[in-house]
């Protein structure tokens, strides 16, 4: 029987393996219930991804200017995650945009090829992310990247907790179980820490703006995919992360 600390460390490693390219869960005796419990650490993993991007942004800002620094930071976060969230956004755009029915949308989303809707969604989201991050000073950007990545993974946890998984199997099926109260508290605590960081680095108003933008992004992307699918897939979780992250950036910028 694992101790409490050892179990939490194991769940954190599983969350890292699910959301990044790192094989952090090697040696763990796998069980689907563990993946479901590991969602509590999704925002914490997002914080680490954002920390890497933020460090690159702050370090390269003076050398290359804001736009190049923003591109490098976002490239780093995409490399760390294997661009899984960007891929999910593109697949979601293709499926919802091109599928007349839920069944057809799900079929399109399984296709590894990218279509016009996916290209357009990726181009727009990347452009907005670059311009938004480039629009803040280096140390504010450092904090904002950390916070936006953490908050956007919290947005993913909320989708898992409040909607049903619509496939019989798939990438997100292991995490589709109920989200426990402990998981809500852990994920929400990490999200609160992100908001406090923004408040300290920028202002309390900026933190409020980031939260408001996050909520708007969360609501908007769910209004896009949920009426047709009546639930979520792994791809739509990636889309949720991307749009929520952009919402947090834009909300913060509006309040600076």
Q: What is the pLDDT of residues 46-104, one digit of tens each?
A: 999 999 999 999 999 999 999 999 999 999 999 999 999 999 999 999 999 998 899 99
Residue 3 has pLDDT above 80, yes or no: no
Average pLDDT over the chain reads 93
Cα dihedral value 190, 196, 202, 205, nearest 10: 110
The pLDDT, as a whole number, for residue 169 is 67
18-27, 28-37, 177-186 — which one is most confidently predicted on average? 177-186
pTM for the predicted model, two decimal places? 0.94
- Residue 172 is predicted with a pLDDT of 59
Which of 175, 146, 183, 161 lies closest to 48 in space, CA to CA?
A: 146
CA distance 246 to 133: 10
Question: What was the pLDDT predicted at 225?
Answer: 97
Q: Pick the residue with more confidence: 153 or 37?
A: 153
Q: What does the domain layout of the chain look like in residue ranges?
A: 36-255
What CA–CA distances, in Å, run from 250 to 182, 209, 246? 30, 8, 6
Say how far residue 185 (Cα) sits from the centre of its chain.
18
Q: What's the pLDDT band for 116 if we cut at 50, 70, 90?
A: very high
pLDDT in the model for residue 33: 75
Residue 203: how many other CB atoms lie within 10 Å: 15
Q: Provide the pLDDT confidence category of residue 174 given band limits of 50, 70 and 90.
A: low
In this prediction, residues 213-218 reach a mean pLDDT of 98
């Amino acid at each position: 029987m694992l101790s409490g600390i050892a179990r939490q460390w194991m769940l954190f490693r599983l969350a890292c393996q699910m959301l990044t390219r790192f094989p952090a869960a090697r040696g763990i005796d796998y069980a689907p219930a563990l993946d479901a419990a590991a969602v509590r650490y999704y925002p914490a993993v997002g914080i680490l991804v954002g920390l890497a991007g933020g460090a690159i942004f702050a370090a390269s800002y003076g050398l290359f200017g804001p736009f190049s620094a923003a591109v490098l930071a976002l490239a780093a976060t995409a490399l760390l995650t294997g661009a899984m969230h960007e891929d999910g956004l593109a697949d979601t755009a293709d499926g919802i945009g091109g599928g007349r029915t839920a069944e057809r949308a799900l079929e399109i989303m399984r296709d590894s090829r990218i279509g016009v809707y996916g290209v357009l969604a990726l181009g727009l989201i990347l452009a907005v992310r670059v311009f938004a991050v480039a629009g803040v000073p280096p140390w504010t950007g450092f904090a904002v990247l950390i916070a936006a990545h953490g908050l956007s993974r919290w947005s993913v946890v909320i989708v898992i907790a409040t909607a049903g998984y619509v496939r019989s199997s798939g990438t997100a099926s292991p995490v589709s179980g109920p989200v426990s109260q402990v998981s809500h508290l852990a994920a929400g605590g990490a999200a609160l820490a992100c908001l406090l960081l923004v408040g300290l680095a920028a202002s309390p108003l900026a933190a409020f703006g980031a939260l408001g933008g996050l909520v708007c992004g969360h609501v908007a992307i769910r209004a896009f995919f949920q009426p047709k699918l009546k639930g979520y897939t792994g791809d739509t979780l990636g889309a949720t992360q991307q749009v929520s992250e952009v919402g947090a950036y834009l909300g913060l910028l509006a309040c600076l």
